[in-house]
Chains A and B, each alone.
Chain A
Amino acid sequence: MAEVVATNQTILVVGGGISGMTAAIEAAECGKQVLLVEKSPTLGGRTALLYRYFPKLCHPTCGLEINLRRIKSNRNIRVLTLAEVSAISGKRGAYSATVKIAPRYVNENCTACGACAEAVSAEVLNPYNYGMNKMKAAYLPHAMAYPQRYVLDASLIGTPDADKAKASCKYGAIDLEMQEETIEIKAGAVVWATGWQPYDAAKIQPYGYDRFANVITSLEFERLADPHGPTGGKILRPSDGKEAKNIAFIQCAGSRDENHLRHCSRICCMASLKQTQYVKEAWGAEAKSTVYYIDIRAIDRFEDFYQKVQKDPTVSFLKSKVAKVTQDKSGDVILHGVDTEGYHRYANAHDLAVLAIGMQPSVAGVDIPAEIVADSSGFIESSAADSGFFGAGCATNALDVNRAVQSSTAAALRAIQVINKLARAEA
């Protein structure tokens, strides 16, 4: 693995979500050498963990599959997974990135036959379902995973299960001796597409995410609706597995709030509008979604979607930022607040409350050059005029997939220009 070749004409793309994949493909299809570095075992990022996309409610497989095919068929792209960029130094035309590669314990011989998963008995919390269920400690992240290669969780190493896994593999794909490596990579330009993280819901104290089982985040709700999720696609509430038909969506959970994230996360209004349709899909006329909001921000063409949902008799809207959530003995959550249209106080019971959680950039904790300018929320805003470092996707702002992809194409074009200039200078 250590013989990764990269020169100052290589474009380094950090982060293999939809944004990083897009930037890598665009640059590679223009003939540039691209190294795509992703810290988890698979490409796809958060997009792969959505049940459906707004506004057309198609499955994320659509978009991802085409992109994966383009990546597989392009010889200019090399992909490193389980590889985290922890620092970047240098300047335009001559960057050097520190990449830490964690051991997968499975090599490229893997056919994803799944025998190792059957052989081991140890289980770990499933991060792809946000820890709502467990999975075998020898696993394929998810059905869309790329590379289609299993991973042994580090906790297996040194246990009898590791030997069982190795013994079960008919292809000699399991290598228990793999070690963590740190390598330095050269690059002429860098596209920074490290995406976003959900705001820590437990910090919104009055909503009780850490105290009440039936207060969940919008990301967890995506998994509840997904057939590959912890409930096999049934919308059941965590405390007692009861069918959750009467669901509250709490908007701006952590966003637009000086005590938490000061920016509007932009996608969460649309995400909740979309999720009301999951509820309807699951329970038909029995479904009851209530959206508690300050104002609904469905921008430009999304307005049509909003209007459609407004007409849906299973969905109602209550203009109020919820002040407090409690949970009663039956497990129902009670939302307290004041309806700002008429100033009526309410205490409404629901089966489940979904926090439309805010997005924060996942740039934090990485040593990146000072030439990058971040806004007051930590999103990459711009870089100096003579920089070869470009933000893409949710690393630059709270964006939906469509806008993330546009921003990534723009970043790829800028990176290509840097490389072209270099090539001309060296010729």
Chain B
Amino acid sequence: MGDLNQQMLDKYRNNFLHEVEEKVDDGEWVKMCMQCGVCAGSCTFGPDWEHTPQKIFMMIRAGKREEVLSSHSMWLCTSCYNCMVRCPRELPITHIMHGLASYAHRLGLAPKNQPTRDFSLIFWENCTKTGRVNELRMTISVYFREGFVSGVKKMWTLRNIGRGLFFAKRLNPLELFVSHGCKDKDGLRRALKKADEIEARRRGYEVQPRGYSS
């Protein structure tokens, strides 16, 4: 694997703000933040996370690259949009948070075993394989990602919900063996591959990034 992270380090050296502006979705907005604190005070997460959007934006400007990209905070954002509707500078805060998360992931710097990231990967794997989400396999993958015993425990705790889903015809046991899919699976994959290429070109990645399907 060519190292995209090293490539970006070489390219931007100490100018992390510039890197964010060019590589992160909506990153060009970061410099508009006036550090008023409204997003931090409005976030549904309250005191439960380390880096509020406001703090993240300041850290970007201060060049704290490692700390920002390995932060859990972007992965915790629930997309409630509370910060975004209140920001007096109209920063698309929620989108920047997601942009930072996905960039950190591409560079391989996102925190390991981050539950949101793990879930996203499982979901992506699952739905791009056939073009449809296989609920049963996805649930199993998510529950068992921390090992067999913990998986069984989780299934047991949620057994009633599972039964409900089964009777509501939302969970088909046969799906364990055969996944239903969309009509043109190969077409879908070609489209996604193309999208990946376009994005790499637009963002100027010389090295093919570790895409979502890695």
Contact = CB atoms under 8 A, between A and B. Distances in A.
Interface in B138-159: none
B162 interface: no
A239 interface: no
A338 B47 CA distance: 10
Given A340-B54, A343-B52, A345-B46, A320 B86 contact: no
Interface residues of A, number: 21
A340 to B, nearest CB: 5
B88 A256 contact: yes
Contacts of A323: 37-38, 40-42, 86
A339 interface: yes
Contacts of B9: none
Nearest to A336: B41
Given A323-B41, A323-B42, A324-B41, A340 B35 contact: yes
Interface in A274-309: 294
Contacts of B89: 258
A210 B62 CA distance: 40
Query: Which of B35, B41, B47, B87: most chain A CB closer than 10 A?
Result: B41
A348 to B, nearest CB: 12
Interface residues of B, number: 19
A337 interface: yes
A165 interface: no
Contacts of A252: 36, 88
Interface string B61-90: 000000000000000000000000111111
B34 interface: yes
Interface string B15-45: 0000000000000000000111110111000
A161 to B, nearest CB: 48
A322 B42 CA distance: 9
B88 A339 contact: no
Nearest to B39: A323
Contact of B42 (A256, A260, A294, A324): A324
Nearest to A260: B88
Query: Which of B35, B36, B40, B87: most chain A CB closer than 10 A?
Result: B36
B86 A338 contact: no
Contacts of A206: 42, 86
A321 interface: yes
A68 B14 CA distance: 64
Contacts of B41: 320-324, 336-338, 345
A320 B41 CA distance: 9
A257 interface: yes
A320 B42 CA distance: 12
A376 interface: no
A258 to B, nearest CB: 4
A294 B86 contact: no
* The 10 residue pairs across chains A and B that have the minimum distance between CB atoms: A323-B41, A337-B41, A257-B88, A321-B36, A338-B40, A258-B90, A338-B37, A323-B42, A320-B37, A338-B41
26 contacts: A258-B87, A258-B88, A258-B89, A258-B90, A259-B88, A259-B90, A260-B88, A294-B34, A294-B36, A319-B37, A321-B37, A321-B38, A321-B41, A323-B42, A323-B86, A324-B42, A337-B40, A338-B41, A338-B52, A340-B35, A340-B36, A340-B37, A340-B40, A340-B54, A343-B52, A345-B47
